[in-house]
Amino acid sequence: MNPLNPKKLHLTKWTAVTPVAKQKHFLVSRVIQPELPTDPIESVEIEAVFSKATQIIPWRDLQDDSVWLQGWV
């Protein structure tokens, strides 16, 4: 997988390898900024396309090909 830049993840599309509750396609709806601007970004908020349910995950989880695939597959 290509290296990910957390600052450029906003509105990127992702597919869960193992769907949970029929939720398979997700969109990064928000990159959560740290309290101090000098601290690194650690989390993103992803939104299920079908149900609009959101959850916060560490952005580095998106690099795991066994859990997430980039794009809508």
Q: pLDDT digits over 32-68, tens only? A: 999 998 999 999 999 999 999 999 999 999 999 999 9
| pLDDT value for 1 | 58
Domain spans in the chain, listed from the N-terminal domain onward:
6-70
3-state secondary structure of 27: strand
Report, as an integer, the average pLDDT of 15-20: 94
The angle subtended at Cα 30 by Cα 61 and Cα 35, nearest 5°, is 90
Does residue 2 have a pLDDT over 70?
A: no
| pLDDT value for 47 | 98
